[in-house]
Amino acid sequence: MTATVLVVEDEREIRELLRRYLERAGYGVLTTGSGAEAVRLLGERGVDLALLDLGLPDVDGDEVLREARERGRVPVVVLTARTAVEDRIHGLRLGADDYVTKPFSPTEVVLRVGAVLQRARGTATGAAPVLSYGSGRLRIDEARHEVVLDGAPVEVTPTEWGLLTTLASVPGRVYSRYELVNRVRGYEFAGYERTIDSHVKNLRHKLGGVGPELVETVMGVGYRLGWSRDP
């Protein structure tokens, strides 16, 4: 079944460029340059994902994003001209599933759209696994974005989530600070490898007494997850 992507972008050239690439990749495409019309289209059936420019002339992109969230689970990939970290975080708080910063490569946008749709389908069918570590002491639920340690939920920021899930993707493998900054920067990127240390510190604090043994420091290299994944 073909997925339908709604492209919300007031710049005609970008809109048409995205339409061309998405259609070539086999998607059905609806386009609009108006936030108000986007809200209307989201209310109707048949939109599987919205590509949303935050800077729209009529309704603010934030409003459209909020509507998409309120009207059910339509995944949203935000297009933003602003590269500011706050902008990314702001959008993630409102529930965007991914970000593309302008100027972008249309091929990259198509790839991101595919990845987000795949993730959304996995969530809908319950296919996204709950990963378990240390004989069930740590559980990471990717679909629900939840971390549970010794039975108690741990509230983590998007950056801490990115750090933990990266380390947990291959337990025992050492990740350098540079690697971690690069992998986590979809959420937040301050540009200094040193900032990773303070995020790790906060994450360990939230993980209580087990923090340091769970997120291990490898002197002179970086960090690794100290527990192995349960079979």
Residues that bind Ca ion (CB under 5 A): 10, 53, 55
The partner residues of 76 in beta bridges, in order of sequence, read 50
Closest CB 54 distance from Ca ion, rounded Å: 8
**In terms of CB distance, is 53 or 97 closer to Ca ion?**
53
Closest CA to 78 of 89, 143, 30, 70: 89
- d(CA 76, CA 95) in angstroms, rounded, equals 8
- d(CA 36, CA 22) in angstroms, rounded, equals 23
**In terms of CB distance, is 10 or 142 closer to Ca ion?**
10
**In terms of CB distance, is 10 or 141 closer to Ca ion?**
10
- d(CA 82, CA 79) in angstroms, rounded, equals 9
Closest CB 127 distance from Ca ion, rounded Å: 35
DSSP letter at 26? T
Closest CB 102 distance from Ca ion, rounded Å: 9
- Residue closest to Ca ion (Cβ): 55
Cβ distance 162 to 187 under 8 Å?
Answer: yes
CA 76, 78, 83: angle at the middle one, nearest 5? 155
Closest CB 12 distance from Ca ion, rounded Å: 11
**In terms of CB distance, is 10 or 179 closer to Ca ion?**
10
**In terms of CB distance, is 54 or 214 closer to Ca ion?**
54
Strands (E), the chain: 4-8, 28-32, 49-53, 76-80, 98-101, 130-133, 138-141, 146-149, 152-154, 175-176, 215-218, 222-225
Closest CB 196 distance from Ca ion, rounded Å: 33
